[in-house]
Amino acid sequence: MVQIIIHDEREREYYLDIIQNFYWRSVMQIAGVYNDDILMKEAFLKLKINKNVQLDDYIIYCRLTHPELVLLLRLFRKIKSKLGNL
């Protein structure tokens, strides 16, 4: 659909990248619900390859694979948001 609507090549790639990242984040959410660590690792790897991993993605990933790090990452996110509001 994006390829049909948007004719500029650079802009098309930009929107396709956004859609692809949204897809892999959705796959991570589904893998978290069903406790599927293989699917979670695959989706996280795809985001890392595209260099679009955010802190929330690390939290979702660690919730299933390394639960001991989740509290630390959430604390880091809270501190980061407080510093951003100054």
Half-sphere exposure of 35 (CA within 13 A, CB side): 1
- Split at pLDDT 50, 70, 90, the class of 2 is low
- Which pTM was predicted? 0.76
Q: Residue 52 is part of which domain span?
A: 1-84
Domain count, the chain: 1
Half-sphere exposure of 47 (CA within 13 A, CB side): 25
**Residue pLDDT, tens place only, 11-39:** 888 888 888 999 999 999 999 899 988 99
Q: Across residues 49-60, what is the average pLDDT?
A: 88
**Residue pLDDT, tens place only, 57-74:** 999 999 888 899 999 999
CA distances from 61 to 30, 32, 73, 79 (A): 11, 8, 11, 20
